[in-house]
Structure 1
C-alpha cells in the first residue's frame, strides 16, 4: 500500500520514499482514527497527510516522550534542533537523520504550505514545556491556534477546495480545534498524570471545580458532581466548535470530502461515547465501539469510491466521447 501511494504521488527518490513511509507508520501506530479517515483520500494525497501527521507526532513525542528523565531544558533543546532542521529544509536544504523533516518539507514545497503555520506550531510545542494550565478559554485558544488550527490550515492545500481557500480556511482551522478539544476531553486524566490541565480554569470554576478537585478525583477514583458538570460544559463547548467547522466540509474538493467527513463523524463519536459513559474520563478512557467505527468507515468508503468515480468520469476524455 505504501508503495502504491508513493508511486501515485510521484515520489521517486529512495530517501524521500523511506521518509514518507516512516511518517505513514507513525500515523498508523498513533493516530488510528486519523489514519482510518486518511485511507479514504485518493492515493496520491495520502503521503502528504502522513507527512504532516508524522512531523506533528514527532514534535509531540519530544515534548512528552523523549525519555522518562529528560529535563525541560533537554526537551527544549531537542525542539530547537528540530525547528532548525525544519527551517533549513523549508529553505531548500536536505536534513540528515530526520525523516519526518524531509517528508514534511517536501510536502510543504509540493503544496505551497505557508511556513508560518510550522512556526506557529513549534511555538505551541515549546509552550507545553512550561505552561501547565490555562486561566481562560481565550488563553487556551491562543495555544490551540498553533497546536491545532494550523494543522487544519496545513491540510487545506492538500485536500483542495471548490471555493477560495480563504473562504474555507476558518472552517478548516475550527475543525482542527474541535479535534483537539475532543482529545483534551478524552485524555483529561492522562494529561493530569503529565502535570497538565487543558480544561480552562474559568470553565471549571463556573461549576465549582478546579485543578485540585480534578487531581483528587484522579487519585482516589471518586466522582464529583461539580466535575461532571464542568466536563459536560466542555463537551457542549466542543460541539459548538464542530458546528463552526461543519460548513467547510462542502467547500472541500469532492474527492476529499469523504475523508474529512469521516474524521468529523468519528471524532464526534468520541464525544458521544464520553457522554454515554457519564463523563467519567478521569477514570477510564472513552473508546468508540469497534462496530460503530466500522459502520462510519464503511459509509465513508462508499462515499469515497463514488466521489472518485465521478471525478474520473469528469476528467476522462473517453467519457465525453462516449456521451456524444
Structure 2
C-alpha cells in the first residue's frame, strides 16, 4: 500500500521513500483517528500528511518522553538541535538521516509550505519547556497558534482549495485549534501528571477551580462538581470552534472534503463521549469506539471515491 502511495506521489529516491515509510508508521501507531481519516485522501496526498505528522511527533517526543534523567535544559538543547537540523536541511538541501526531517523538507518544498509555519510551531514547543499554566485564553491562544493552528495551515496546500487559499486558511487554522482543545479536555488528567494545565486559569477560577482542586480530582479519581461545571463551559467553547471550522470544508478541494469531514466528525464526538461519561475524565479516557470510527470512515470512503470518479 505504501509503495503505491509513494509511486502516486512521485517519490522515487529509495532513501526518501524509506523516510516517508517511517513517518507513515508513526502516524499509524500514534494518531489512529487521524491516520484513519488520512486513508480517505487520494494516494498521492497521503505521504505528505504522514511527513507533517512525523515531524510534529518528533518534536512532541522530545517534550513528552519524560525521563527524570533529562533536565529542561537538555530537552531545550534537543529541541534547538531539531530546529537547527531543519534549517540546515531546508537552506542547504543537505540530506538528513532523520526520516521526519527528510520527508517534511521534501513535502514543504513540493507544496510550497511556508517555513515560517515550522518556526512558529517550534516556538510553541519551546513554550512547553517552561510554561505549565496559562492565566487566560489569550495566553493559551498564543500557544495554540504555533502548536495547532499552524498544523492546519501546513495541511492546506496538501488538501487543496476550491478558491484562493487565504479564504480557507482561517477555517483550517480553527480546525487545528479545535482538535487540540479536544485533546486538552480529554487529557486533563494525563497533562496534570506532566505538570501542565492547558485550560485558562481565569475561566477555571470563575468556577472556584484551581490546580490544587484538579490535583485532588486526579488523586481521588473523581470529578468535583465545580470542575464538572468548568469543563462543561470549556467543552461548549470548543464546540463553537468546531462549528466555525466546519464552514470551511466547502472551501477545500472536493477530493479532500470527505477526509476533513470525517476527522472533524470523529474528533468532535470525543466531546460527546466526555459528556456521556459525565466528565469522569480522571478515571476514564474518552474514546470513540472502533465501530463508530469504521462507520464514519466507510461513509467518507464512498464520498471520496465519488469525488475522484467525477474528476475532482
Class of the TM-score when normalised by the shorter of the 2 chains? over 0.9
User: 1:96 maps to what in 2?
Assistant: 96
User: 2:85 maps to what in 1?
Assistant: 85
**How much has 1:66 moved relative to structure 2?**
6.2
**How much has 1:88 moved relative to structure 2?**
1.3
CA distance in 1, matches of 2:220, 2:43: 48
Unaligned runs of 5+ residues in structure 1 are: 315-324
User: 2:5 maps to what in 1?
Assistant: 5
User: 1:211 maps to what in 2?
Assistant: 211
User: 2:36 maps to what in 1?
Assistant: 36
Q: Is the 8 A contact 1:269 1:288 kept in 2?
A: yes
> CA 1:130–1:288 in structure 2 vs 1: closer, same or farther (change >3 Å)?
same
Matched, 1:51 2:51: yes
Structure 1 stretch 180-189 or stretch 218-227: which is displaced more?
218-227
Q: Is the 8 A contact 1:88 1:95 kept in 2?
A: no
CA distance in 1, matches of 2:50, 2:22: 9
Matched, 1:172 2:172: yes
**How much has 1:301 moved relative to structure 2?**
0.8
Q: Is the 8 A contact 1:85 1:95 kept in 2?
A: no
Alignment size in residue pairs: 312
Matches within 5 A, 1:32-181: 32-65=32-65, 67-181=67-181
User: 2:17 maps to what in 1?
Assistant: 17
SS at structure 1 position matched to 2:254: coil
Unaligned runs of 5+ residues in structure 2 are: none
After TM superposition, the runs of 4+ consecutive aligned structure 1 residues lying more than 4 A away are none
User: 1:243 maps to what in 2?
Assistant: 243
**How much has 1:93 moved relative to structure 2?**
2.0
TM-score computed with the length of structure 1 as normaliser: 0.94
Q: Is the 8 A contact 1:79 1:126 kept in 2?
A: yes
Q: Is the 8 A contact 2:222 2:282 kept in 1?
A: no
Deviations 1:101-126 (A, max 9, x none): 01000000000000000000000001
Matches within 5 A, 1:264-303: 264-303=264-303
CA distance in 2, matches of 1:255, 1:87: 33
**How much has 1:65 moved relative to structure 2?**
0.8
CA distance in 2, matches of 1:289, 1:26: 21
Deviations 1:59-88 (A, max 9, x none): 000011164421111111110110001111
**How much has 1:191 moved relative to structure 2?**
0.3
Q: CA RMSD in A?
A: 1.0
Which structure has the greater CA radius of gyration? 1
Q: Is the 8 A contact 1:66 1:75 kept in 2?
A: no
TM-score computed with the length of structure 2 as normaliser: 0.98
